[in-house]
Each structure stands twice: as structure tokens, then as C-alpha cells.
Amino acid sequence: MTDLKNDRFLRALLKQPVDVTPVWMMRQAGRYLPEYRASRAKAGDFMSLCKNAEFACEVTLQPLDRFPQLDAAILFSDILTIPDAMGQGLYFETGEGPRFKKVVSTLADIEALPIPDPQKDLGYVMNAVSTIRRELNGRVPLIGFSGSPWTLATYMVEGGSSKDFRKTKAMLYDTPQAMHLLLDKLAQSVTSYLNGQILAGAQAVQIFDTWGGNLSSAAYQEFSLAYMRKIVSGLIREHEGRKVPVILFTKNGGLWLESIADAGADALGLDWTCDLGEARRRVGNKVALQGNMDPTVLYANPEAIRTEVKRILASYGKGSGHVFNLGHGITPEVKPEHAGAFISAVHEFSGQYHE
């Protein structure tokens, strides 16, 4: 494997010195880019993009070609690949997002779920990782990812996205043993899936806990964080002679930063509701922090974007341990030149914090 030409993203996650603050964007390969929309039209649909290694590689590299200052690439895939491999039948309804043909509603349903083999059942993801890693040729590190067990469980029980998680929370409180069995199977699946990605070439991994912040504090600790902790303890943490950093991201998880920092990961992702400087004070030197500009700032003019970048950099202050990102994914209506202004501003203004 080629040596990395730019490793500041990995260095920052491990709190090692860097020259400028590294930056990447959640959903950086996506619908805000005309070249992505062209590739998706060629592929036919979203899952055809994910399941074809050449297409997945093409769209992963598109933002790097457009914005050479990006410090990381992230695998183009979907968080719902694991439930699909468990036989739930993932499909996408226009205007409605992901749906499943089968839902999980009883203990018997959960007992019947298989734990997918990453090579056999999710081989298309491993092929995509190895293809992207080869084509990157050491330009920047490649991030692999998965949804968290709790987040995956919500889709499997609800049959798709939900506003109130009524069925999932009813299962949690009515039959906690069933929910624990589902989450345990998902934790085993995520662990082997992420380890498969690492062996295929991912140089850092992120766990997206999109819906953990919708739980009560006690339920979050028991039904979300406990299973992410279990995954972290089972991950490959060194490969190809380098550490493989792990990032945990719970959207709306600001109440539990100290607990998340104790879960064994190298970095915490923050949404935009957290003050970055305050988060740094709360977690101390335990972990690096990733985030956390409000994605909707990218609708503003470039000068306003630059002002917000400067504010966030000042909030974190001097020293390494910060990876600049949005507090959630970039949205489809953002103008690409606004994303470019954001990325450039991070490098332009962050050098003074690393002297």
C-alpha cells in the first residue's frame, strides 16, 4: 500500500501535531455536486451506485477532485447495508427515503436474523473500499463507517425513517430483552463489518449514531452507548503499521460527552448544538473532537461562511485534536462554491492555532 502524502487527518484524530486543522464533510460525495448527480443517473439508482465498486469509487473521489484541500475521503455507501444483508430488503421510495420490505417486530423475528459475513454478504462494500484505496494512491486517508446498533435498529423496527420512533421505543420498554438481543446481533455485525473495511483498506472508521439523541439519558446509556462501547472494544486498532482511529458521532449527544469520551474511541463527532470550546473543556485530553459547523451556514454567502469558520477555530483554540467538519451532513441544495469557500477557510485561518 502507498504511503500517505497527507496524513494530517489521522494525526489530528490521535492528537498529534499538525500544520493546519484537517477538514472533511459528512456526505461530501452527494447530491450537491452535479458530477454526483450525473454518476447516479448513469448508475440508475442509489443502490446501484453503492453496489458497483467503480461507481462507488468514482463518486468518493469526485469531491477530492473538485476540492483538493479536503484531508480525507469517506467510503460512498449507506448505513443500512447491514440490515439489508440480514434479509430486510432495503429499497428507496422517491421522496420518502429508505424503506424495508420486512420489519422486525417480535422476539422470534430477531432470533431468526443472521449475522452477516462481511466478505460473503457485504463483499460489494469490501470491493468498493479496496478499489477506492487503490485509486486514492495515498492522496488522503480513507474513512470507513457504519450506523450504530441503535440507529440501525430504529430502521429495522419502524420499516424506514420515523419522526417519533413509536414502535422502536415501545419494544425497548415493553420487551427490553428483545431489543437487547437485536442490538447485540447488530453490535456483532457492525464489529465484523468495520473490521472487514479496515482489512480492505479503511484507515479510520466512524460510527454514526444518528438517532441516539432521541433517547432519554438512561436509555441512551443502556441501549445505544453500551453497544457502541462493545463495538469499539472489538475493532482492529492497528493495521499496515499505523493506528486506525475510531470516531463516535451521536447526533444530539451533547448531554453525554463525558460518557462517550470514556467509551474507548479516539474522537467524538459533535453536532452544531455543542459549543466546541466547552466540549473541549469537558472531555479534556481523552479524545479528539470532530465538527461542528451548522450545515445550513453553507447557504450563506462565502464571507459569512468564513466568519463562522474563524469563530469555531477560535472556540477550539490552540493545539491539535480538532478535525473540522459540519455538525451533520451537507445538504443537497448547497452551492458547490460555498462548500469550497468553507474548506479553503479552514486551512487559511487554522495555521495560527498550530504554531
Binding site members: 27-31, 78, 155, 210, 328
CA atoms within 13 A on the CB side of 115: 14
Q: Give which of 70, 78, 67 is closest to 35, Cα–Cα.
A: 67
Question: Considering 11, 66, 71, 155, which one is annotated as catalytic?
Answer: 155
| Whether residue 155 lies in the annotated active site | yes
DSSP string, 72-128: -EE----TTHHHIIIII-EEEETTTEEEESS---SHHHHHTPPPPPTTTTSHHHHHH
174-181's contacts with Cβ under 8 Å and 24+ in sequence apart are 175/107, 177/107, 178/106, 178/107, 178/110, 179/153, 179/223, 180/223, 181/107, 181/110, 181/111
CB 230 within 8 A of CB 209: no
Query: How many angstroms separate the CA atoms of 241 and 4, rounded?
Result: 12
Query: How many angstroms separate the CA atoms of 270 and 251, rounded?
Result: 7
Q: Which residues belong to the annotated binding site for substrate?
A: 27-31, 78, 155, 210, 328
* CA dihedral angle for residue 343, residue 347, residue 350, residue 355, rounded to 10 degrees: 160
Cβ contacts of residue 93 below 8 Å, gap of 6+? 99, 160
| Whether residue 353 lies in the annotated active site | no
Question: Considering 8, 11, 27, 229, which one is annotated as catalytic?
Answer: 27
192: exposed, middle or buried (Cβ count in 10 Å: 0-12, 13-18, 19+): buried
| Whether residue 281 lies in the annotated active site | no
| Whether residue 8 lies in the annotated active site | no
Region of 264 please: left (phi>0), alpha (psi -120 to 50) or beta: left
Query: How many angstroms separate the CA atoms of 90 and 286, rounded?
Result: 38
Chain-centre distance for alpha carbon 16: 22
| Whether residue 27 lies in the annotated active site | yes
Question: Considering 40, 237, 242, 282, which one is annotated as catalytic?
Answer: 40
Task: Give the Å distances, CA to CA, from 160 to 71, 144, 173, 214, 329.
Answer: 33, 23, 20, 16, 19
Task: Give the Å distances, CA to CA, from 73 to 21, 80, 253.
Answer: 16, 20, 25
Question: Considering 78, 117, 262, 294, which one is annotated as catalytic?
Answer: 78
The residues assigned a catalytic role are 27, 31, 40, 78, 155
